[in-house]
Amino acid sequence: MADFDPYQLLGLSRAANAAAIKTAYRQKVRVAHPDRGGKSEAFIAVVRAFGVLSDPEARRLYDETGIVDDAGVKSYRKDVSVILADMFDAAVGAAVATGLRLDSVDFVAQMRKAVDSSLVEAKVQARRAEGEIADLTRLRGRIRRNGEAPNIFADRLDTQISDRTEAHATLKRRVLMLETAVVELGNYESDIELIAALEAAE
């Protein structure tokens, strides 16, 4: 795939935002899915294009160099698959624990609720982390020391800011993965279709 261009494949401009990428992916993957008459190679290419453009690091690398980090994209997709598999296991476990007949449960709908709930929570945590980083940074600017001796309090704040910045990056990645999981769930009408698609993308 030397001529692989995720933007061209999804019919997008390089300025496309996250919402446009998700919309284009939804449209293309429905047509490309082998269960709907598409070819396996086309389906994998669409999934790969979305993987590149939905992962900020992979997209930045592609935009700057034209290189596709397939290992990074695969890792990102695997992480999304793990989220969906965990949600599926939780939904099945809840159905079994409450005595529901498994053939009467809409597992995609159950998973969608769980992913939506997790996404809201992750966004709240990310906003809180942003606020904490901003507060600590302002406080860091106020703490000065006279003389040449080390400023131990500023050093402590630098450590806290660094820790929260790292945690914030992890939360932002989780938000992106959950948003990708929402897109995946929106493409399939049954858990069987979804699982088949995730397995094909591995």
Residue showing tokens 């999981």: 181
Q: What stretches of the chain show up as alpha helix (H) in DSSP? A: 6-10, 18-32, 40-54, 56-65, 70-97, 107-142, 152-186, 191-201
157-181 mean pLDDT: 91
> Rounded to whole angstroms, how far apart are CA atoms 40 and 14?
26
Positive/negative CA dihedral, 89, 75, 129, 152: positive
CATH number of 1-68: 1.10.287.110
Residues 145, 154 contacting (CB under 8 angstroms): yes
Q: Are 76 and 177 in contact (CB under 8 A)?
A: yes
- pLDDT for position 1: 44
Q: What is the pLDDT of residues 23-60, one digit of tens each?
A: 888 888 878 877 677 787 888 888 888 888 888 888 88
Please state the pTM of the whole predicted model: 0.70
What tens digit of pLDDT does each residue of 103-162 get?
A: 888 888 888 888 899 999 999 999 999 999 999 999 999 988 888 888 999 999 999 999
Which tokens in the block code for residue 150?
């080390």
Domains of the chain, by residue range, sit at: 1-68, 81-202
Residue entry with tokens 């397995």: 199
